[in-house]
Amino acid sequence: MKQLNCDILIAGGGPGGLPAALAAARIGAKVILCQDRSVLGGNASSEVRMHIVGADCSGKRGESLSVEARESGIIEEIRLDASVNNPQRSPSVFDLIWYDKCRNEPNLELMLNTRVYATELQGKTIKKAFARRESTEDEFEIEAKIFIDCTGDGTIGACSEAPYYEGREAKSTFGESLAQDKSDKLRLGSSLMFQAKKHGEPMPFTAPTWARKITEEDLILRPHATPAMDMDLGLEYGYWWLEWGGTLDTIKDNELIRDELLAILLGVWDHVKNGGDHGADNWALEWCGFLPGKRESRRFKGQYTLTQKDVQEANTFEDAIGYGGWHIDIHPPAGVDAINESPCIHHDVPHLYQIPLRTTISNTISNLMFAGRNISASHVAFASTRVMATCAVVGQAVGTAAALAAKNDIAPAAIVSDKKLLGNIQQQLLKDDAFIPGISNQENDDLVKLAQIKANSEQKEGQAINIISGQNRSVHGKRGVRSDLAIPGTHRWMSDPEAGMPATIELHWEASKKIRHLQIIFDTGAHRVLTFSLADEYTKKMHWGSPQPETVKNYQIDTYLNDQLMETLSESNNYHRLRKHTLNGEAIDTVKITVLATQGIDHARIFEIRAYE
């Protein structure tokens, strides 16, 4: 057995685990990420192919310059990379984008095809975990300060006998109107996706004998291919409502669930092809999923359990580390067998809501944390927090918290009681382009707050001083944050279009500073939906296959001391939101950023500039 040691062990490389690993590694923690599949991405990977959704509600929550709900930070970095580098929308290239992120982090050791299967505890603290990699016939004993369970099913938590929720709670458990009258063990089911391709001639299909026989009556409430849908048959992406297994144990019965989902999938395809006029004569299956996209299994009991009230009333928390905004999205456990029930019911979530750190910290194991769909939430609240972009936001926060806790030799269980550490975690998240409703940049080391700020042009709603507003987006509009948390304004510098390009913004200090690090947050159109998807009509809502038009494309950074040029950095073809630059550290009193071109719009936009010695 090979022995390994790290600061943080993360199990699960999906939308929760990968951002957690990257966030922790980027601020100095030594991280091992164990992923039991050969690719990263979880339900967003090429093995499942579900597209990532989040607080923007697939475009239903968003308005330019007033409600920018799309998640930022690491998940935005991945989305922007995918839009520019995967215009063809290849699932395998999307896998590579996730993988590339890991390969570029020197503090991160990625172990694919490696499953954590056991833990060893000393009292209420995990001392080590045991993992197995079948592809090399290796076993590993991994010691770490902190363990983060991002497996979805909660493998580390279950091995460590951490208590968890299963199924649906009764109304009386958390006082939830959307809960059941009586608790049960039912849950959201799993799905298999498919892809089909249109050909230039009829493509026959004969279903296997074990496929289900599906009729139009069976699908009366489930929209599927029909010429009446403006020829958007949806066959290139598949149907998320091909769901089943919520009445079973989605862990123990996963193989049975997969087999029955295949029978359902091919039965539905047989109906689409051979069961009447569905406009699918020239369509043929191109790909069929074999790994069920699992929605729900275990939810672990944390120091706090998020509930319906927290989500719908957007309650505030001192330990807020992220946000959600997806509907409370409840599905019938029987899935397609619930013929007379809608495949989902969306209960409104009026505002972007805070997610507290305590939902990610075990209430019994001192050094165990969670990120993803297994955080501490009631079944009803989980129906909102479970979506992948929200998992990514929480993952980045948990990785950040774990790294800073490990650096200070503080157990996760003690983080929330350490107000200084908690504040540092929140400020580090903002520094790394996360957003937390109600939390603004309070970092004392940011020298831009001490500078005189001016621009060669600005709009009334986009004055240069906005770069130190402390908030990296606008969320004051309808369906943004709760009104008492809203800070009106665009929170960005916007140059005057009539002044044209180049547009410059300048920082000047009375006394010279030895600035080593400079970072800029650009506008990437976060009021719009942007996510890798195989659905053609959904993708048409986006600026996919190119940089976002609001983003600064070409810019130059010049530093001066007593009007003498000290250093010049030039960037071209930028498409990212957060850019970090390292300066030579010489004494300077002025930084001038010159925007030479954008990716589309007629003026420059910058949310925030930070500078550090």
Q: Which residues contact 307 (CB under 8 A, 6 or more apart)?
A: 174, 175, 176, 377, 378, 380, 381
Hey, what amino acid is at 188? L
Rounded Cα–Cα distance for residues 14 and 74 (Å): 13
Structure tokens at 222: 């489930």
Question: How would CATH label the architecture of 447-612?
Answer: Sandwich (2.60)
What would the pLDDT profile of 67-95 be if each residue is shown by its tens digit?
999 999 999 999 999 999 999 999 999 99
One-letter amino acid of 490: T
Q: Across 491-546, where does the E strand assignment appear?
A: 493-494, 503-514, 517-522
- Whole-Å CA distances, 102 to 4, 11, 134: 18, 14, 21
Residue 232: the pLDDT is 63
Take residue 553 and report the two structure tokens written for it: 């494309």
Taking the C-alpha atoms of residue 250 and residue 170, their distance in angstroms, rounded to an integer, is 20
Which amino acid is it at 39? Answer: V
Q: What does the domain layout of the chain look like in residue ranges?
A: 2-167+296-431, 190-288, 447-612
What residue spans of 275-387 are helical by DSSP H?
A: 308-312, 379-385
Please give the pLDDT value at position 225: 78
What residues does 140 pair with on adjacent strands? 2, 131
Half-sphere exposure at residue 134, Cβ-oriented, CA atoms within 13 angstroms: 7
Helix (H, G, I), strand (E, B) or coil at 302: strand
Compute the average pLDDT of residues 132-141. Answer: 98
pLDDT of residue 233: 78
Q: Peptide bond before 502: cis, by omega within 30 degrees of 0? A: yes
Report the share of the chain in percent with pLDDT over 70.
99
- Look at residue 383 in the predicted model and tell me its pLDDT: 99
d(CA 294, CA 43): 8
User: What distance lies between CA 581 and its chain's CA centroid?
Assistant: 25
Mean pLDDT computed over every residue of the chain: 98
For residue range 434-467, list pLDDT tens digits in order. 999 999 999 999 999 999 999 999 999 999 999 9
What are 370's strand-pairing partners?
149
93: phi > 0 → left, psi -120 to 50 → alpha, else beta; which? alpha
The tens digit of pLDDT for each residue in 233-267 reads 789 999 999 999 999 999 999 999 999 999 999 99
pLDDT over 70 (residue 227): no
Residue 31 — very low, low, confident or very high, per pLDDT cuts 50/70/90?
A: very high
pLDDT of residue 206: 98
CATH class of residue range 2-167+296-431: alpha beta
User: What span, in angstroms and rounded, lies between the C-alpha atoms of 48 and 367?
Assistant: 31
Contact of 547 with 83, CB cutoff 8 Å: yes
Judged against a pLDDT cut of 80, whether residue 572 lies above it is answered with yes
* Position 398 pLDDT exceeds 80: yes
pLDDT in tens, 330-365: 999 999 999 999 999 999 999 999 999 999 999 999
| Rounded CA separation 285/267 (Å) | 13
Helices 74-85 and 91-103, interaxial angle, to 10°?
Answer: 130
pLDDT over 60 (residue 231):
no
| DSSP 8-state code for residue 11 | E
The three-class DSSP label of residue 180 is strand
Taking CA atoms, 447 is separated from 240, 431, 462, in Å, by: 48, 13, 21
- Per-residue pLDDT band at 210 (split at 50, 70, 90): very high
Residues 6 or more apart from 245 whose CB is under 8 A from it?
A: 189, 190, 253, 254, 256, 257, 260, 261, 292, 335
| Statement: residue 314 has pLDDT above 90 | yes
Q: Is-same-fold flag (2-167+296-431; 447-612)?
A: no
HEC readout, 387-438? CHHHHHHHHHHHHHHHHHHHHCCCCHHHCCCCHHHHHHHHHHHHHCCCCCCC
Nearest partner of 224 among 290, 261, 260, 275, judged by Cα: 275
Parallel/antiparallel/unpaired status of strands 138-149 and 2-11: parallel
One-letter amino acid at 110 equals L
Helices 419-431 and 388-407, packing angle to 10 deg:
130
Residue 426 Cα distances to 244, 396, 397, 422, angstroms: 39, 11, 8, 6
